Every structure is written in structure tokens, then in C-alpha cells.
Structure 1
Amino acid sequence: MRKLKTVAVGAVLAFAGIAGTASAPAQASSQAEYVALGDSYASGVGAGTYDSASGDCKRSPLNYPHQWAAANPEYSLKDVTCSGATISDIRNNQLSALSSTTNFVTITVGGNDAQFSSVVQACLTESDSYCKTATDWMSYYARNQLVDELAGLYKDIRARSPKALILVLGYPQTLSSTGTCPVIDLDATKRTAMNGLADALAEGTGAAATRASVYFLDMRSMFRDHGACGSDPWINDLTNASAVFHPNAAGYTKGYAAKLEATWG
């Protein structure tokens, strides 16, 4: 019997008949259905290889949905993740992949709603004070308005797939506190500010998951000591311009896929 291996996930552990552990939903066919939703962190931007058929969505066969599905062939994967997706995009373009027979759902979203790319650009090109102002502003949003928006989305997922186990995978801190960033270095003030936004996103996402009674997987501990610009990075730095501060192949395998498999594998 498949069970949640990690019970200390940041959500209410009693919903839809689940209390501490969760058995696999009953299967109507030989394979259960797994639907992967989310943005670039779910689609696999930064992994280094992409399915050409996915176009600008940049879905990688190394993203965490594909790696988990490969390790669990009793599930049939429907991957509708897309780089750049916001909460609105998930509703408009991805929720249609869900059905009442969906057994398992994963999702990572919220970073684009918190203007992640714009904040990164500000911290790379502007002063320390400007960077801190930008991250403080978006951190406030992440701990407040974003919680309402994400909780509403998770409830919509539950309404479409009432029997599914829903796992929300968060974002890690992106930067190592030590080491030199190539191309454009970032001082300690900017690194602290940017990692502070990552903390706010994790806290806001976890709060939304609790409110909607779905499971939250906090990725920060998995990526500890593996931030960009450090000695063993699982996050891309500025030398990969198209995937700055997104996980690299090691980040998707040793970070996201490992956490997911350890939790529900």
C-alpha cells in the first residue's frame, strides 16, 4: 500500500479521508492518473533539455513530474506545466487537464505572481536599497494576498479532482550566502534580500496549503548549501542566462524529484 512517507508536511493532515498517511486512490484502470500543474520550476526550466513539442512552455524530461512518473510506472503522467505560468494561467490553461478520475496532482506556482523575474532584475542592476525595497514589497504580497489567491486555486483543484492527493511543491532559496557569482556578483545584502523573498514565498505557499487542506512540501531544506554561486550549486547562476536562479539538472533530480519520491513513492 502506497503511503505518504513524510507526515510533517505543512498542511492539515486530515482531509478527504486522509489522516497522517494516505493510501493510493482506487484505480479504475491499470494506471492511475497523475496531472502535473505549474510554472517553470515545475516544467523544468534550467534542466538543460526540453521537449520541442512543448514550445515556450519548456517542459523537460528531467523535470520532477517526469522523473517521479518514470520511477512510478503505475501512474500515467499528464504534464501541462508551462514556463511563465501565473495563478491565472493555471486556471485558464491547465485546470482543464484535471477530472474526477485524477488520482494525483502536483503543482508549483506563485513565483511569477510575486514578480520573481522583475525582482531578480532589480537586484542585479540596481542598488542594495532598491533591491531590498523590491523584495520587501513582494515578500509582503507573498505572505498576504498570495495566500488567498493560492488557497482559492488549490480549492478549485480539489473541486475538479475530489479523490486526488494534491501535493504543493514550494520554492527554495536561490543563492548561497558564500562564494562569488560570475558575470554579476551579488553582495551579502542582496543575497539576504533575495533569499528573504524565497522564504516569504515558502511561508505564503505553506499557509495557503494549510487553508485549502492540501499537502505542502517545503523545498528549502533540500536545497540548503546548494544555492547558486556556492561550491555545490543546484541552482543556475548568470552563466545560464535563460534559466537564471532556476534549478539545474542536479536540483531537479537531487532536490525536487528526491523530495517528491521520498514523500510519495
Structure 2
Amino acid sequence: MRRLKSVVTSAVLAFGALAATAGTPAQAATEVRYVALGDSYASGVGAGHYDSASGDCKRSQLGYPALWAGVHDEYQLTDVSCSGATMADVRANQLSALSTDTDAVTLTVGGNDAQFSSVVQACLTKDDAYCKTATDWMSYYATHQMADELAALYRDIKARAPHAEIAVLGYPQALSATGTCPVIDLGSAKRGYMNDFADALAEGTKAAADKESVTFIDVRDAFQGHGACGSDPWINNLSSGTEVFHPTLAGYIAGYYGELDGAWS
């Protein structure tokens, strides 16, 4: 709890600093050149405070890249993460932000390639058997083909930014095992299938990171006991529209930022 309070305080201070320094020119060459890549979990969907200039990419001033750069003044952030991004989108639209001068890279991607939204929709609208089939199918993809595709993406990142420290942050389990979901309640079977799918995404990401010797940051333990529909959720629940099953501000602070801080500090 002490660590959580400290992280929350740092994040609040960082948000104030970001607002106060908006438009300030980059300072010295001693700054760490940090590039953030990835999908909605990287851009901070669910945290609010979106940069209007980012449009549909919905980059939040309180997503984990902005939090990290706000708290660590030496980091000069270039955030090209974008809600909805797949691995192909990262290659086509984001890798150009990297260079031989890049010092640090973070990335969360793969969920859209594994059809996360479609799997969730299937589990919300179909029966248990259909949910199991959907999650089993895409879990197999996540631990096999996706892992290989991520490994190839990590190689491309290293080729463009050969001197950078690369941290790959995974996905948490979305649902609490107990509690009531608003709008559409989910039984224990569906919750288990969906969390197994989240585990497969994390394990596939870890396998790719291990293969290419980049740092994998597993956020599942940090989010344990804080799934959607539980008593202390760090994941947005079914009443949250397009932010459903994305971390809340507390999730980005205590989960993502907290785990990145543990890995990079």
C-alpha cells in the first residue's frame, strides 16, 4: 500500500508537470530518447486525459509512457502508440520513430492480432461453449503464431534502434473471479476462459521476448485481485463503452507504471 501511494503521488506530480511544461522545447542532449510503441494498452485507453492531437489513437497523458517520462525528467518521450494497432500497424506507422539515437523503447501489442475485441464480444453474447471455442482458438494462436510474429517485430525494432533498452509490457487478466458485472453478468466459466486467453497473450509475449532477449514485464501479478467486476477493479467494466476491459487510471499507475518502474529503476 505504501508503494501504491508513492506511485499515485508521483503520477499526480507528473501530470501537473506535463501540463505545466506543455510546449516546452526539448532540453539537452543528455536526455534519454524514449519511444513508446503499441496499441491501446500502450496509448493509455481507459486512463482518460487524452491528447486531442492524437485523434483516434487516444494517447493519454496518464498512460504508462507519459507517466514514466513525466516522473523521470531525463526521458524525452516520442509516443506513437495508437489504439487499435496491430503488429502490422506498428511496422507501417510507428517504427519510423526509431533511430540509432533511440535509447529506450516500450511496447505493448498483439491483443488486436489475436482478435481480442471479437473474442470478448463472443463471450459476452454467446453461450459458454462458444466462448470456450473462441478463447481456445485464439489462445493457440497467441502462444504459437503470435509469439513468432512478435519475435520478428522485436528483431525489426532492434535493427532500427540497436542501442536501445527495450521493454515489452504484457496484458493482465481482465476479470475478477468473483463479483457482479454490470450490464451483462458473466458466469465463472466464461471468466475463466477469458482469463485463460489473457494468460495465453502474456505467455506468447513472454516467449517472444525470451527468444529475442528483450525485457518482458509481466503485469498479471500486479493486477491480481483487481479485475473488472470485482470489489477493487483496476480494469474498466462493461459500463465503460470503448474503454471496457482496459486498465483504469489506477491500473496504469499501480500496474503498468509500477511494474515498469520495478524493471527500469
Instruction: Give the SS at the match of 1:221.
Output: helix
Specify the code of the residue in structure 1 equivalent to 2:190: K
Specify the code of the residue in structure 2 equivalent to 1:263: A
1:30 deviates by 2.3
1:151 deviates by 0.0
2-side partners of 1:144 and 1:263: how far apart? 26
The equivalent residue for 1:246 is 246
What does the per-residue CA deviation read over 1:138-190, in whole Å, with 9 as the maximum and x for residues that have no partner?
Answer: 00000100011000000100000111000000000000000000000000000
1:238 deviates by 0.8
The equivalent residue for 1:220 is 220
1:244 deviates by 0.7
1:42 matched to 2:38: no
TM-score normalised by length of structure 2: 0.89
2-side partners of 1:149 and 1:166: how far apart? 17
The equivalent residue for 1:193 is 193
The equivalent residue for 2:208 is 208
Between the aligned residues of both structures, percent identity stands at 68
1:237 deviates by 0.3
1:247 deviates by 0.2
1:150 matched to 2:150: yes
2-side partners of 1:263 and 1:73: how far apart? 17
1:49 deviates by 2.0
Q: How many residues align?
A: 238
1-side partners of 2:204 and 2:120: how far apart? 19
Deviant stretches of 4+, over 3 Å: none
1-side partners of 2:64 and 2:75: how far apart? 14
Instruction: Give the SS at the match of 1:130.
Output: helix
Instruction: Give the SS at the match of 1:196.
Output: helix
2-side partners of 1:87 and 1:68: how far apart? 23
TM-score normalised by length of structure 1: 0.89
Q: Report which of the two has the higher share of helix.
A: 2
What does the per-residue CA deviation read over 1:91-122, in whole Å, with 9 as the maximum and x for residues that have no partner?
Answer: 00000000001000000000000000000000
2-side partners of 1:64 and 1:101: how far apart? 22
1:160 matched to 2:160: yes
1-side partners of 2:151 and 2:251: how far apart? 27
What does the per-residue CA deviation read over 1:218-265, in whole Å, with 9 as the maximum and x for residues that have no partner?
Answer: 110010000000000000001101111000110001110111112113
1-side partners of 2:65 and 2:81: how far apart? 9
1-side partners of 2:205 and 2:66: how far apart? 23
Alignment map for 1:173-188 (pairs within 5 Å): 173-188=173-188
2-side partners of 1:206 and 1:80: how far apart? 23
2-side partners of 1:239 and 1:48: how far apart? 15
1:133 matched to 2:156: no
Identify unmatched segments of 5+ residues in structure 1: 1-27
Alignment map for 1:8-157 (pairs within 5 Å): 29-157=29-157
Higher relative contact order (CA 8 A, sep 6+): 1
- RMSD over aligned CA atoms reads 0.8
2-side partners of 1:69 and 1:103: how far apart? 13
1:213 deviates by 1.1
